[in-house]
Amino acid sequence: MKRFHQWLIGISLIGMLASGIASASFSGGGGGGLSITEIIAGITGIFAKLDATNTFVKDQKINDPDALAGGTFSGIRLQTTERASYCLGPSDGSTREFCLSGGSTVMLHGSNGDLYDGSSTGNVTFQSDSSTNRHWFTPTGSMVVAGGQQPPIGSAFMVGSNVNTVATFLVDTTNDWTKHLPISAPAASECDSADEKGRLYYDSTVDIFKYCNGTAWEEVTDGNTTTFTGLTDTPANYTGSGGKTLKVNSAADAVEFVDVGFTSLPDTPANYTGAAEKALKVNAAGNAVEFVSVGNVAVENYHYAFDASNDQRPFYTGTTISIGWDAPGNDIEITRTVAPSSGDVSAVCQKWGTFTASAYQETDINSGSATDIFSAGLPSCERMECTISSEEDATYPTFNLIVHHTCDSIPISANAVVQLKVLRP
């Protein structure tokens, strides 16, 4: 630029001097030419103009036509028509240039080419706005890179669309963390091919990262969890679940706590209907349990206490026999009301006492009338135990009977005590 000024000054001086010499009057008289004083004043005016601020209303170009004709990008111009820019390039206004613009924003762009389409709203390669402290690469495209201490989005390096007010991806260079913009779940079609594998987003509905495996969206799980409830497909806590059982839910995609009873299990009876007094047994297939009648099971227990001097016939009445106390004979009487399917009903008894030795008695109870167990009776201070059963009918109940006739010297009203246990098949 300095050489340019020198060149311009030299041309002006030569022109003025030539004009002055041709018509100058050195006598200062009326020769019609410029006087030496006027020439000096003119030169001084030129310098004054060069020192003043000049306003350009048209593009100013400096180029090398020879170099341009040879295809070399050279030259510089001051652009005034579209953006106020300094442009480097061919300077012919029709070939690609690289331009720098100032003003409220600083922009790098091109003219009449791929980088800039020749209009004031055309493509811009780089733009920096000091008022917002944001910086864009291809701001009219699909990517925005912003950063700085106090940008509108956040104090970080960000990448996002130019139409959004928040960043799609953010890197906080102060706190050393990254952030993805939470969004709703994308369509399934966004993750159904191999070339879409690796996509990642943060699901704003369930608050978890999801990635594309090439077929479907999968949750990014925490492989370092140390608790059962910390897993993604388990209950969140144990509150209110004391005593409950863990079971796979109906959707078959998680487990849950449920109340499960014995009959709710898949290999147990569905209910207890008709299973009273039955036993539990593994079935013949060996894959479940079932209720069955097995052997003799104690189902009834009775206890009686009364004055032995009073007749108690009967004190027990069952479906097959009745039992009573014969007060005059101090003895137990048994009456059979239902006969077994085969064989007899017998009572096998033994008694012990203070005044008599141990005695054993086996008595058949076949008729429908009362049968005494010991004809000599059961005097005071003696005890008797009997088993009453059918020898051939396995379905006939069995009775275990214990009778204690306390000593008469004991001043109590209930001096006969009977314990009876009924065993049914």
Mean pLDDT by 10 residues, the chain (425 residues): 50 52 46 61 59 56 55 59 65 61 65 49 62 65 48 55 66 75 90 92 90 91 74 87 88 88 85 83 89 70 88 91 89 91 91 75 85 84 91 88 78 74 81
Query: Can you give the pLDDT at residue 149?
Result: 40
* pTM higher than the cut 0.85: no
CA distance 216 to 213: 6
pLDDT given at position 39: 62
Amino acid 369: pLDDT: 84
What phi and psi, each to the nearest 5 degrees, are found at residue 40?
-60, -40
Domain ranges within the chain, ordered by starting residue = 2-51, 182-219, 228-258, 297-424
Residues recorded for the chain: 425
Query: What pLDDT is recorded for position 21?
Result: 46
- 89 conformational bin, left if phi > 0, alpha if psi -120 to 50, beta if neither: left
Would you say 80 and 65 are in contact if contact means Cβ atoms under 8 Å apart?
no
pLDDT attached to residue 79:
66
Domain 297-424 has CATH 3.40.50: no
Tell me, what's the pLDDT at 377?
Answer: 83
What pLDDT does 59 receive?
Answer: 56
Structure tokens at 34: 């410029």
Judge whether 311 and 328 are in contact, CB under 8 Å. Answer: yes
Residue 122: CB atoms within 10 A of its CB come to 17
